[in-house]
Amino acid sequence: MVRPRGGVAMSVWAVPLALALALGGAVGGGMISAALVGVGLPVLLARLGWDSRLAAGPMVRVLADAVSVLLYFLLARWLLG
């Protein structure tokens, strides 16, 4: 009997473990960074005396996406060499 190593998805697609970790870490880190930016940016703008509604739309989205992409590339470079 053959046992899948590294989970079902890796056994089906034969994805290297380092790549799977880089993608999973980037998705998880992206969600955490989006939550932190979504909460932190309006608070920061309010403390600076600016209208915190400025951070409600595109500003948070752009920063969260940029952090996600940066995190993915850093994890891929670190894990894949």
| Domain ranges across the chain | 16-80
Instruction: Dump the DSSP string for 21-58.
Output: HHHHHHHHHHHHHHHHHHHHHHHHHHHTTS-GGGGGSH
- Indicate whether 2 pLDDT > 60: no
Angle between helices 17-47 and 58-80 (to 10 degrees): 150
pLDDT band, residue 33 (cuts 50/70/90)? confident
Query: Percent of the chain scored above 90 by pLDDT?
Result: 4
Output the pLDDT for position 3: 53
Q: In the structure encoding, which two tokens stand for residue 46, read together?
A: 């309010």
Task: Summarize the confidence of residues 5-23 as an average pLDDT.
Answer: 67
* Closest of 7, 16, 11, 61 to residue 35, by C-alpha: 61
- Indicate whether 77 pLDDT > 70: yes
Q: How far apart are CA 65 and CA 61, in angstroms?
A: 6
Helix then strand then coil, in percent of the chain rounded to 5, is: 80, 0, 20
pLDDT band, residue 41 (cuts 50/70/90)? confident
